[in-house]
Amino acid sequence: MKTCFVDWLEKFQLPCIYKLATGKDCPGCGMQRAIILLLRGNFFESVKMYPALIPIMIMLFFLLAHLIFKFKHGAKTLVWMFIVNVIIILCNYFYKLLI
């Protein structure tokens, strides 16, 4: 069942409008492929494809937990997690542009 779902996801990936228009990767390019790699159990390949995926997932789980449990410093923690994710995304984007 899991393999069937992952195969379906892989077959119906959304195209990147930015890449179609400019021919260059956008800051989010690779996230869908990284999710598919992660679902297939290829953790290191997933991180290599899109390094921000795991930190984004951690941030989203923390956001959900904060909405449920109302952590004392949850909002500040989320801001810092967001900043770290943006830095990772931008570093990965500029790295892709250079190579």
Q: Which pLDDT does position 3 carry in this prediction? A: 78
* Burial (0-12, 13-18, 19+ Cβ within 10 Å), 98: exposed
* Burial (0-12, 13-18, 19+ Cβ within 10 Å), 49: buried
Structural contact between residues 55 and 88, judged by C-beta atoms closer than 8 angstroms? yes
Question: How far apart (Å, rounded) are the C-alpha atoms in residues 38 and 22?
Answer: 28
Domain residue ranges of the chain, discontinuous segments joined by +: 2-10+26-98
User: Tens-digit pLDDT profile for the chain (99 aa)?
Assistant: 667 999 999 999 999 999 999 999 999 999 999 999 999 999 999 999 999 999 999 999 999 999 999 999 999 999 999 999 999 999 999 999 998
Q: Which pLDDT does position 64 carry in this prediction? A: 98
